[in-house]
Amino acid sequence: MADTVILSLPGIHCAGCIGAVERTLTGTKGVTTARVNLSRKRVTIDVNGITSDPLIAALAQAGYEAHALDAAMLTSVDTDAKGRMLLVRLGVAGFAMMNVMLFSVAVWSGAALATQQMFHWISALIAVPALLFSAQVFFQNAWVALRVGRLNMDVPISLAIILAAGLSVYETSIGGDAVYFDAALSLTFFLLIGRYLDHRTRIAARSAAQELSALASPDALLVTGDTTRTIPVSDLAIGDLIRVKAGMRVPVDGQITQGTSDTDRSFLTGESLPVQVHAGSDIAAGEVNLTGPFTLRVTRVGEDTTLARMARLVEHAEGARNKYTALADRAAQIYAPAVHVLALVTFIGWLVLSADAALALNIAISVLIITCPCALGLAVPAVMTAATGRLFRRGLLVKNGTALERLAEIDVVVFDKTGTLTEGHARIDTDALDPTQLSVLAALAQASHHPVSRAIAAALPATLQAADLTEISEHAGLGVMGLWRGIPVRLGRSDWVGAVTSPALQIGDAAAIPLTFSETLRAGAADAVARLQSRGTPVHIFSGDTQTAVSALAAALGVTQARAQMMPDEKLSAIKALSDAGKKVLMIGDGLNDTAALAQAYASISPASALDASRAASDIVLLGRSLADIPDAIDTARSARARVLENFTIAAGYNVIAVPVAILGYASPLAAAIAMSASSITVLLNALRVR
Amino acid sequence: MNVLIILIPASLILACLGLAGFLWTLRHKQYDDLDGDAWRILMEDDHINDDTEPKT
């Protein structure tokens, strides 16, 4: 059975990766073809009777991280019919523009009488069908806006194109000079470039969001009697028993009926250490089961789960953000009425002065053509494409069309702690221990699979010689013990080894040594915080973790504004309070407890390691591990904003020169063509100056 | 001026060929992975004539 599997490959970046991935996959049994798409960081594989699992395993062995994506969910984006149609229209407009320009140049350089007449007719034959096909995008948008009684940028565009083409056909039929086919076509061509760039930014955002939801696993293991079967989470009812294996994310809220384990709730609460759970413990959806399997009685499903309640908080907070009006729309709100009023005034003025309706109409139309917001239509998308491309190469994926505009304005930065400023995994401090104790600790830690033990083992130097232990036994929920040179040694919970804090190490009857944890700072965190503060942007830390852990980190980073033990809704209201005080907040966080705050903030960034919901709620996803790029991203956003405003000025400048000429009735088709192309090209070149 | 009778159709036909070429590349998904294609040209393709090499 032939089938298509799509895998996400977040780590690929070069020709070597493409070759290695394709060779690995084509060498796997059951694979027909494999084709890597580097732009989307994905591979599409045609397979015969196998699933994605062996392919992911094969890639993991070759050193590439891969995730299965839901192929059915992604096809709608991959085919991208709208983008392709825009390109076809762009191609047709470009083809027609170049050919008509050929005839126009001949006319401008002196072709007259019958030759001029013939050239105008040929131009009309090319231009009218090309315009009807290519400019449809603008006509449709303008119609939609007019029907609800609103004006958008497409209304003056459509009007200019239709009037220019109509006037030109009329002039051609009476053998006149005012033929604007080339202007109408170059207008369409340049505006379609802007439209396509805009569409590409949007589609990239949408495909990222779809990829996130395609990654989520919507299944649960239902326990009925002695058997388990996989059912969709949406089919679970209150009272059902489900089995959660080690390593799985808990899909619904529930209470443990059987089994002991540790869960990682850092995404929910920001706590950096795993929490021990046993029969009777309440578990919230989103926690990750770390050590042993347990059975859960479902207490809340669907809309009532902690996860869904957080999603509602996010939805609510996002409403506020959607009120943001993009710069281009704000410009259009001023520009569109101004253009129409100007053309109308010109028409009335000439009608009164010359009493010649045909002449007045002719000049009014030339005003509309000259003022048509060609450069304005390119001003924003060209800059945003240049800026998002630059950021993507640095490892920042911009998901939202207006994200950069908002990022440019921020004046306060709020960081989450666990998983954002820190790596999210606690590390053990080994300074207080002597070499003998260290070697015993290493031996005990290596013997256990408990996440805390593994963190300890990982933190110890690799050169350390582990002591020889015998009779090692692991006591679930308590710790691990063994015999070292005949003395019992123990590593475990405080009450089990007789210490004040957990975990602790005890050798023989000696006093237990409590082990203290510290967190590893994420790469670039100190650098990012220092650079933000040095340029006068206040930095806050909002964390759900304990006061001690937060204070220690804040002191290390030199952050004075740090708050600990915050619940998700406290984070949300703290962000709201800052916004109400007139601040524009950039929130950087990864956990589920941050999602509402991320959505509420003026702009937001989350690391790629964040939970799907957090990435979905944020504007920008940090693909790399380092935070050092965040100040640079703000710089790029500010530079992009400056370029956009410059582009508006350039476009306005052209109009200041060209409009009086047009109003006075001196506008020629040649002048219109030059003004149009020159302003569009200047705007495009200026966009490339984004740093 | 009689040369125009040849030149005009010639220029139009050439331009149409260009447009047709563009539409052909578009239909064959040549613009879907611009980054990847830029790298692929540098690859030493030992398996280029292999049956496993996917068609574009």
A688 has pLDDT over 70: yes
Q: Read off the pLDDT band of B20 (50, 70, 90).
A: very high
Tokens standing for residue A344: 């109308």
Which of B1, B15, B35 comes nearest A38 by C-beta?
Answer: B35
Which of A38, A87, A122 comes nearest B33 by C-beta?
Answer: A38
Q: Do A26 and B52 touch (CB under 8 A)?
A: yes
Amino acid at A643: R
Q: Do B40 and A87 touch (CB under 8 A)?
A: no
Q: Read off the pLDDT band of B55 (50, 70, 90).
A: very low
d(CA A89, CA B28): 17
Backbone angles phi, psi at A180, to 5 degrees: -110, 25
Amino acid at A219: D
| Cα-only R_g, chain B | 19
Per-residue 3-state assignment (H helix, E strand, C coil) for A111-139: CCHHHHHHHHHHHHHHHHHHHHHHCHHHH
3-state class of B30 per DSSP? coil
A571 has pLDDT over 60: yes
3-state class of A63 per DSSP? coil
Amino acid at B56: T
Q: Read off the pLDDT band of A313 (50, 70, 90).
A: low
Q: Which residue has better confidence, A239 or A625?
A: A239
The helix or strand, by DSSP H or E, that contains position A492, with its residue range, turns out to be strand A487-492
Q: Do B19 and A92 touch (CB under 8 A)?
A: yes
3-state class of A581 per DSSP? coil
B51 has pLDDT over 50: no
Q: Do B42 and A15 touch (CB under 8 A)?
A: yes
- Find which of A222-226, A570-574, B41-45, B46-50 is predicted with most confidence, using mean pLDDT: A570-574
d(CA A234, CA A219): 8
CB-CB contact of A664 with A636 (8 Å): no
Q: How far apart are the first and last CA of chain B?
A: 46
Q: Which residue has better confidence, A580 or A219?
A: A580
Give one word for A582, left, alpha or beta, with left for phi > 0 and alpha for psi -120 to 50.
Answer: left
Task: Catalogue the active-site residues of A.
Answer: 416
3-state class of A668 per DSSP? coil
Is A39 within 8 Å of chain B by CB? Answer: yes
Distance from CA of B35 to the nearest CA of A (A): 5
Backbone angles phi, psi at A46, to 5 degrees: -90, 120
d(CA A581, CA A424): 31
Distance from CA of A322 to the nearest CA of B (A): 30
| Residue (of A205, A13, A39) closest to B30 by Cα position | A39
- Find which of A86-90, A179-183, A587-591 is predicted with most confidence, using mean pLDDT: A86-90
Tokens standing for residue A330: 């704000």
Which of A39, A91, A115 comes nearest B1 by C-beta?
Answer: A115
Average pLDDT over residues A505-517: 78
Q: State how far the alpha carbon of A153 is from the alpha carbons of A295, A365, A656, B35, in Å.
A: 58, 17, 19, 33
d(CA A129, CA A40): 36
CB-CB contact of A471 with A482 (8 Å): yes
Q: Which residue has better confidence, A653 or A206?
A: A653
Spatial strand order of the sheet with A31-37 comes to: A31-37, A42-48, A2-8, A67-69
Amino acid at A189: F
Backbone angles phi, psi at A148, to 5 degrees: -95, 15
pLDDT of amino acid A134: 93
Q: Read off the pLDDT band of A475 (50, 70, 90).
A: confident
pLDDT of amino acid A271: 65
d(CA A277, CA A305): 19
Q: How far apart are the first and last CA of chain A?
A: 50
Q: Read off the pLDDT band of B49 (50, 70, 90).
A: very low
A508 has pLDDT over 90: no
Helices and strands counted in chain B (H then E): 2, 0
Q: Which residue has better confidence, A575 or A618?
A: A575
| Chain A residue whose CA is closest to B1 | A115
d(CA A647, CA A376): 8
Q: What is the pTM of this model?
A: 0.70
Q: Read off the pLDDT band of A92 (50, 70, 90).
A: very high
Distance from CA of B12 to the nearest CA of A (A): 7
- Find which of A118-132, A430-444, A466-480, B28-42 is predicted with most confidence, using mean pLDDT: A118-132
| Chain A residue whose CA is closest to B53 | A33
pLDDT of amino acid A611: 64
B48 has pLDDT over 60: no
Q: Do B47 and A26 touch (CB under 8 A)?
A: yes
Which of A32, A87, A99 comes nearest B11 by C-beta?
Answer: A99
Neighbours of B15 (CB within 10 A): 17
- Find which of A2-6, A113-117, A265-269, B43-47 is predicted with most confidence, using mean pLDDT: A113-117
Residue count (chain A): 691
Tokens standing for residue A275: 């929490």
Interface test with A, best of B31, B41, B42, B52 (most A CBs within 10 A): B52
CB-CB contact of A192 with A90 (8 Å): yes
pLDDT of amino acid A71: 62
pLDDT of amino acid A462: 67
d(CA A345, CA A357): 13
**1-56 of B, contacting A, C-beta below 8 A:** 1, 4, 8, 11-12, 15-16, 18-19, 22-23, 26, 31-36, 39-40, 42-43, 47, 50, 52-54
3-state class of A508 per DSSP? coil
A397 has pLDDT over 70: yes
Contacts of B22 in chain A (CB under 8 A): 91, 95
pLDDT of amino acid B52: 45
- Tell me the β-bridge partners of A227: A224
- Tell me the β-bridge partners of A45: A5, A34
Distance from CA of B40 to the nearest CA of A (A): 6
d(CA A606, CA A598): 8
d(CA A227, CA A437): 47
A541 has pLDDT over 50: yes
Residue whose entry in the numeric block shows the structure tokens 């996959």? A25
Which of B34, B39, B52 comes nearest A33 by C-beta?
Answer: B52
Structure confidence by residue, pLDDT tens digits, A660-680? 888 888 877 777 778 778 888
Please provide the average confidence, as pLDDT, over all residues in chain A. Answer: 80
